[in-house]
Homo-oligomer: A and B are copies of this chain.
Amino acid sequence: MIEPQIPKGFRDFLPQQMMLRRRLMATMSAIFERYGFVPLDTPCLEYARTLEGKYGEEGDKLIYRFEDRGGRAVALRYDLTIPLARVAAMYQLPKPFKRYQIAPVWRADKPQKGRFREFYQCDIDIIGESGACADAELLCVAHTVLQALGFDNYLIRINNRKILNALAERLGIATERIPDFLRALDKLDKTGPDAVLQDMQARGLLAGDAGRIVRDHLLAGGDNFEAVAALLAGSGDGSAGLAELELISRMLAADGVDGRYYKKDISLARGLDYYTGPIFEVVVTEPRIGSILGGGRYDGLIGLFTKQSMPATGISFGLERLVTVMEELGMHNQAGSLTQVLVTQFSADLMDDGVRLAALLRRSGLNTELYLAPDKLKKQLSYAASRGIPAVVVLGPDEARDGRATLKNMLTGDQDVLEQQRLAEAIRALLA
């Protein structure tokens, strides 16, 4: 006998969990399409060379890499962005190319609470449009999705790598040290302003008055954009970045997003090296679960695969985090049953009548389960009760002969004998 086990960091999703996950994915897909995004699917397996060297040193180590039977180095996809970049380079796609993809990715990470080796990402990206209108649209979609799922306590944080680059320049940080500077800043939420300042100093990034500027303007709340604008006066990158943030705010307002849901935040850095413009993050503020969405503009990334220049911007929802918050806050109905009515079986003789009746109910659009073998009525009723099926149709020999059936409301216990043709309508009334 083989011990039934799954690899550590991997999960089965049983039907009750799947119902929430499927609802989430369906809500997202519908809203993505509402905004003109179209679906794309890419293989779970890519050539290793397609993925390697894109996720930083730490990320690269987490790639599930192996050799296939032909000795080729392949890898399970690590995210949905690099495969999209490959697709954009491989095919002549009409631009702007606005795609969504909801699919699992794999990371050979140390499994821990809330961190898995296989998890779903839900991405939207816009390729071929360099204006900040595209970036803003992604955030409008994010807000619409979160509202539709019933979220309210969240904050969309917005910044721009152009501003951070200009600021680094103003601080006297050499271009090649900027990734170091951003990595240090990215730890702010985890370690706090003092630790970040110390870290930057220890890395030798800050000389002269740079420490004071970082403390007063970058790490103190992150929303004093007037002071930042003054600091960056004369910087082309700086003013471009600030203008993009303005445009994004304007579009969010025009789309009807209330100001309490978003915030320009100069201290937002994001971890990935490849961002080139606006960057985003959505944090849930209650419960404090951290980031449920991240993203930004990556105008240089597709250039790794093609000589054509293709601006691009995207965001990625973390499905697992959304599920966790919804479960913790009781934002979904755990007890729901997909099946709306159970048709019981009285005896082998009446099986045909039961099948016919179930077919009738299904044709009317009701999710109908037929009890699959004759059994004691009591057992069939307790089966329906244990599954949370709200209605049961009992079909005995007299009723079958007369073209009738008994409809039992499992919540109230009420029951009625009805013409079979009128059952569907009565069940709908019961469900309403």
Contacts and interface: CB of A to CB of B under 8 A. Distances in A.
Interface of A: 1-7, 10-15, 18-19, 21-22, 33-36, 38-47, 49-50, 64, 66-69, 72, 74, 76, 86-87, 89-91, 93-94, 96, 98-99, 104, 106, 108, 117-118, 126, 129, 131, 133-134, 137, 140, 144, 247, 250-251, 253-256, 304-307, 338-339, 342, 351-353, 355-356, 358-359, 362, 365-370, 372-373, 386-387
A91 B39 CA distance: 34
B67 A40 contact: no
A94 B14 contact: no
Contacts of A33: 338-339, 367
Number of copies of this chain that the complex holds: 2
Contacts of A306: 1, 4
A393 to B, nearest CB: 13
B1 A43 contact: no
A86 B7 CA distance: 12
Given A134-B372, A355-B251, A338 B45 contact: no
Contacts of A2: 49-50, 304-305
A10 B256 CA distance: 42
Nearest to A366: B34
Given A5-B47, A36-B338, A45-B106, 14 more contacts: A6-B86, A7-B45, A7-B47, A7-B74, A14-B40, A14-B91, A15-B38, A15-B40, A35-B367, A66-B66, A131-B373, A137-B370, A140-B355, A256-B359
24 contacts: A1-B304, A1-B306, A3-B305, A4-B90, A4-B305, A5-B47, A6-B42, A7-B72, A14-B40, A14-B87, A18-B41, A22-B39, A34-B368, A36-B370, A45-B106, A66-B66, A94-B387, A98-B369, A126-B372, A129-B373, A134-B372, A140-B355, A144-B362, A254-B355
